[in-house]
A = this chain, B = another copy of it.
């Protein structure tokens, strides 16, 4: 069991969201946004269900968190996401000026790092939290698809 309010603790909750996606036959990526130890957004990938390439977990979580806060900048907020954000989500995170992004598995092919390198100067980025678990659910999904 991960320590309460640790990065592992919150990543486990993001992983639970990824499991929800998996069960809906969506690419299993989950995200949560935390502000002052309070979870203010939870989301998972819904691109198939919504027939919308923009419906990544992070995009929905950003919209949802801003709606909760009543402001579009996500100061004092941390995004936990099971997979390295893509270029689109990296761009959205840039605009949000979010304080911290923690991701699990890396995505060397489609992730933001290889393409845009960094997010907003105000954003701290941490990677590799529950990396194996976050990667395993992706592998299981694509193996099932074959």
- A59 in the interface, Cβ–Cβ < 8 Å? yes
Q: Which of A84-123 contact B (CB under 8 A)?
A: 86-92, 94-96, 115-116
- A51 in the interface, Cβ–Cβ < 8 Å? yes
Query: A73 — nearest CB in chain B belongs to which residue?
Result: B53
Contacting pair A54 B47 (CB below 8 A): no
Counted per complex, copies of this chain come to 2
Query: A115 — nearest CB in chain B belongs to which residue?
Result: B116
Q: Which of A44-82 contact B (CB under 8 A)?
A: 47, 51-54, 59, 62-63, 66-67, 70-73
- Which residues of A approach B to under 8 Å, CB–CB? 47, 51-54, 59, 62-63, 66-67, 70-73, 86-92, 94-96, 115-116
Q: Which of B53, B67, B73, B86 contacts A66 (CB 8 A)?
A: B53
Question: Once the chains are docked, how many angstroms separate the CA of A90 from the CA of B107?
Answer: 18
Given contacts A90-B91, A115-B116, A116-B87, contact A96 B63 (CB under 8 A): no
**Minimum distance in angstroms from A121 CB to a CB of chain B:** 14
**Minimum distance in angstroms from A92 CB to a CB of chain B:** 5
Question: Once the chains are docked, how many angstroms separate the CA of A40 from the CA of B19?
Answer: 35
Would you mind naming 8 contact pairs between A and B with Cβ atoms under 8 Å apart? Answer: A51-B72, A52-B62, A52-B72, A54-B59, A54-B92, A86-B91, A88-B94, A91-B91
